[in-house]
Amino acid sequence: MIFANQPPIESNTFLLVGLGNPGREYRDTRHNVGFQAVDRLCASFDIKLSRLQSKALIGTGLWDGRKIVLAKPQTFMNLSGQAVASLLRFYKIPLSQLLVFHDDIDLHVGTVRIRPGGGSAGQRGLASIIQQLSTQDFPRLRIGVGRPPGQMVAADYVLQDFSKADLELIAVVLDRAVEAARVFVQSGLEKAMNQYNGLVQKE
C-alpha cells in the first residue's frame, strides 16, 4: 500500500521488468514477449540474470552511471506484482524509474507504445502490478502481438508461439524496445515516448 502515495525518492537505480510465464514451454509464446525483451536488455546492458530474489530472476549492473536491475518474475503472469513490489521496496526505486515490458493484444504486431500509466486492459500481469502497487501510475512499454483470429479465445492465443510470418518483425520490435529502454534510462520517459512510439514497418 505504500506506493499509492509514494513520497519522493532520490535514486539512481532503474528497474526494468519483463512479464511472462516461467518454463520452457512458454518461452517463445506471445505472452512471453516481455521476457524476450529482458533477454535482449541483458545483452545490451551486459547484465546476466544470475540469481533469484523477491520471486524473480534478476541481474544488476551499471550503465551510464546508473544502476540497472533487470527482472523476470517467476510467479507466473497473474502474480507478477508480488515480485515487482518487493524489488521496488528493496532497491528503494521510485515508480518513475520502473519500466514494465508486456504483450498487448490491442496493438498490431510490430507496434511499440510507451505510456506513463493506465489500466491493465485485461493483461493479468499488469493487473497484478497495479493491485500490488495500489496505483496505475507507472511507465510501461506495450509490445503489440495482434488480435486472435476468428473466435479464438485471447488466453489461448497469447499462449501460442508467434507465427513464422511475425517472427522477423518481432525481432525488429524487440530491438526497438531495447533502444527505447536505453533512452528511458538516460533521458527520461517523455523522450522515449516521442522517439519510439509507433509501428515498425516491414521492409
Question: Which has more confidence, 141 or 5?
Answer: 141
Q: Which CATH class is domain 13-199?
A: alpha beta
Nearest to 73 by CA among 95, 46, 52, 89: 52
Cα dist from 162 to 20, 144, 165, whole Å: 14, 12, 8
Put simply, whether the predicted model's pTM sits higher than 0.85 gets the answer: yes
CA distance linking residue 11 with residue 129, whole number of Å: 21
The pLDDT of residue 151 is 85
CA distance linking residue 138 with residue 30, whole number of Å: 23
Tell me which of 85-89, 111-115, 197-201 is least confident. 197-201
- Whether 202 has a pLDDT exceeding 60, the answer reads no
Per residue, the 3-state secondary structure of the chain, as one string, reads CCCCCCCCCCCCEEEEEECCCCCHHHCCEHHHHHHHHHHHHHHHHCCCCCEEECCEEEEEEEECCEEEEEEEECCCHHHHHHHHHHHHHHHCCCHHHEEEEEEECCCCCCEEEEECCCCCCCCHHHHHHHHHHCCCCCCEEEEECCCCCCCCCHHHHHCCECCHHHHHHHHHHHHHHHHHHHHHHHHCHHHHHHHHCEECCCC
The pLDDT of residue 203 is 46
Each domain of the chain, given as residue ranges in start order, spans 13-199
- Whether 5 has a pLDDT exceeding 60, the answer reads no
User: Which amino acid, residue 125?
Assistant: G
The pLDDT of residue 1 is 41
Q: What's the mean pLDDT when you consider all of the chain?
A: 92
Residues taking part in catalysis: 31
pLDDT digits (tens, 9 = 90+) for 103-134: 999 999 989 999 999 999 999 999 999 999 99
